[in-house]
Amino acid sequence: MRCVWQRNFHTAVRNEKKHLLAETIYQDSKQKMVARLVVDIRTFRVSEATLERFGPEGKDNTNLLRLNGLEAYLGVGRKLREALADVNEPLAVYLFAETVRGVIQAETFLYRERGFSSAAEYGRHWEKIYLNACRYYSNLERVTRRWEEYADQESRGGYLFLRSKTYLLYQEAADTYLVLGSLNDTFHEMNVWLRSMGGRLSCNGEVLCVPDAICREATKFLLSLNGTNLLDLLPKKVLVEMLGGGQGCTHLQDLVSDTLETLQGYLSLTDKLAEEMPMPPPSGASRSLNNTALTLCPHLNPEG
């Protein structure tokens, strides 16, 4: 078994008193980049957005003025995609979306600045706006620990929220791959593994730290991927439904989606190299994958 690729995402949100400095750093074996937002601490409106890329020719900074004025909050996804449509970096939308997610998580420590009188009022607010969106908020009658009881919501300076996600891809045999994905942040710790043998998947994982015991129940949905063909899982919404939809864990769903894209990206590159080199193409699922994942993971492209 050998490790053939690894990817790392690190999101940090820092309280700078009048504004938040939020960024997501991405690294793999070929490229490094940073998506950075400066956000008003009360309105969460973006006042500055930068995409910083590091390459063989040095550092490139791009100021993204079209993001200015957007609210870094729930529902901003479509506006992000529109504002970044002309940016020549397929990972840009993902990285800025991750940064927005970090800002949303950091709100826990800013409930006063956001207009809530208490941590309990803030908790009830989320029980309304996120109702039926995940395992926790779909089963509030069974929850034994409310959000304000779990999170230490005292006002704080410096770093408010930190999140690291790591994906390691191993090749175990000619047509067998194992991907390990892990998430560790201020409120959650979990991991998944995904194995592909001839394009047939098996999956499992563990939740180490979550707000309530009910969240751990979402791991049972990971088994629903067992025996599934790799090619059947390209649309994320199909994957999310297989992983429980609103009864699953959104963090686990995202973790599995990223883990799967890591595998698809590598196999898509294998397809591309096979087309360019005078040798038989790889067997199994890697023969059939299209370039969708390569677009999502451009750092795999040897021409990029």
Contact 38, 48 (CB under 8 A): yes
With tokens 């999101």, the residue in question is 11
Rounded CA gap, 225 and 233, in Å? 9
Per-residue pLDDT, 269:
75
Per-residue pLDDT, 128:
97
Contact 5, 266 (CB under 8 A): yes
Per-residue pLDDT, 273:
45
Residue 144 tokens, joined:
């034994």
| Count of positions (residues) in the chain | 304
Per-residue pLDDT, 278:
41
Low-confidence ranges of the chain (pLDDT < 50): 272-274, 276-304
Per-residue pLDDT, 59:
80
Per-residue pLDDT, 287:
33
Rounded CA gap, 231 and 229, in Å? 5
Per-residue pLDDT, 80:
97
Per-residue pLDDT, 271:
63
Ordered domains of the chain (ranges, CATH)? 166-300 (3.30.390.50)
Per-residue pLDDT, 58:
72
Per-residue pLDDT, 283:
33
